[in-house]
Amino acid sequence: MNLTQQDWTEQLENDENAIVLDVRTEDECNDGIIENAIMIDINKGQYFINEIESLDKSKNYYVYCRSGVRSAKACDIMNELGFENAYNLLGGFIQWDGEVVYPE
C-alpha cells in the first residue's frame, strides 16, 4: 500500500508493531537512514528474498528507498511472500523531512 509522507509517518508513530525497512544500496544508506531502519538492499536478488523471508510476517513494515520506486516493488514482493502489511513511502528518502541518522 502506498502512503504519503504524512500518512506513513503518522501511522508509523502510532504502530507498536512497526518495522522500518530501507531497501536502498549501502552507499545510499551512508547518506543517512530513517531511525531504527533495517537495511536490506533490493538490488541483491536472491539475498534480498532470503532476508525478507526471514522476517516476522506478523509485523507491519514501513518500506522506503530513494524515490519510492524500489520500495513499491519491495512491497509487491513482500505481499507475494505472504506479508499482509507492507507500506510504501511515496516520494522516498529524497522527500523525507523527518529525522535522519547515520549507520554505524
For the annotated catalytic residues, the residue numbers are 65
* Half-sphere exposure in the Cβ direction for 72 (13 Å, CA): 9
Measured distance CA(47)–CA(50) in Å, rounded: 5
